[in-house]
Chains A and B, each alone.
Chain A
Amino acid sequence: MVLSLRLGLAAVLVIAAVAVLTVVWVPPADSGFASPKWARLIVFHVPCAMMAVVAYIVSTIYAVIRLSRGDMAADVKSAASAALGFGFTVLATATGMVFAGIEWGSAWNWDPRETSILMLMIVYVAYFALRAAIPNAASRARISAAYNVLACLVMPFLVFVLPRISPGLHPQRASLSWEYAAALGGAMVGYVLLYVWLFRVVVARRSG
């Protein structure tokens, strides 16, 4: 429990430090941004979106373990990671929408990345709705794990399909100053710590 608390503290500290540094030290982006001052929002938005995907992949890995070994502990972990992933997805979408409103003039543009994160959100909602609707614990674990895996296999198709529908506003490659890169890296570390801490807390609470 003490380790958990320290981890949580570390996570919060790192994120807070990154936040302060971003405001104070990272210079506004020079070219290519409509509002250079607000461009620094991507320091929080990008790692958030990455964590949303990472959490989902972790959730799917535990789902596979649950299916192959019938291990109920794996089910708890899969659901926990999914819950956290959903949180990151919502945060990423919210920060993204704020940024999009400032940078591109409207909060939602059906850009491929925007559409992908929306799809991921729908997968999460469907996953939890499915879990909520199955009363028997063993069936719930098996069926939601199967859904998790199937959705994971289908998601990559979006990566191929969506860019053909809309050219996309997200830059393919961004040239950022090293301060930005550092802040982004720092935020990523902070989010990973936050994820690991919350994951342990949630799993401990649901297993106990």
Chain B
Amino acid sequence: MAGVRISNLTQRFDRREVFHGLNFAFDGSCLAITGPNGSGKSTLLRILAGLLVPTAGEARLLIDGDEIERNQARALIGLAAPDVQLYAELSVKENIAFLLRARGLSDIPSRVNAALERVDLSERGGDAVAELSSGLQQRAAIAAAIAHEPSVLLLDEPSSNLDESGIRMLHGIVEWQRARGLAVIATNDPDEAALAAGCLDLGAAR
């Protein structure tokens, strides 16, 4: 039983207030977060991922009915976002292997290969990230986010830069994630939002 719980969430960056007293509850396996640019979609994902401590209130992820604690975030959450980039000088495989090693996981080569296969990037896995097109870099970022098979996958504008086959691949990933846990997608794309069972519209919530 997966879900999202947001209670009284306030986020301020110096003078700019992104949310104020936001409340929201969702139960299900796929949530879309929509809203115009600047409404705080990326910020909310960062808070959910545990990268940012909110000014006030909290936003929690639920897996099997339990809230994910901050110290579990590393193992249970994966994030693919425009401001989380892979190391350009390393190859895709080296990037993913590093992340798996840092998380203390074993059996790294097979996990890396499995992740690359899921995003259809196996042939280019040995290329440096800097050499890839933006579409392939996006696939690489998604592979890095799913390699440790997280219970929660957070995706920020995932279909940007993806071609048709990339978008099909993405839908497959979301389905795969829904079956295993929770997917949260921040997007302005109605097709992406349609994948989800629920929707939090930050534009309307203001």
Contact = CB atoms under 8 A, between A and B. Distances in A.
Interface residues of A, number: 4
Interface string B37-56: 00000000000000000010
Contacts of A135: 14
Interface in A133-154: 135-138
Contacts of B13: 136
Nearest to A140: B14
Nearest to A137: B14
Nearest to B13: A136
A52 B13 CA distance: 34
Contacts of B55: 138
A67 to B, nearest CB: 13
Interface string A134-178: 011110000000000000000000000000000000000000000
A135 B13 CA distance: 10
A135 B55 CA distance: 16
Interface string B5-18: 00000000110000
A136 B13 CA distance: 7
Contacts of A136: 13-14
5 contacts: A135-B14, A136-B13, A136-B14, A137-B14, A138-B55
Interface of A: 135-138
Interface of B: 13-14, 55
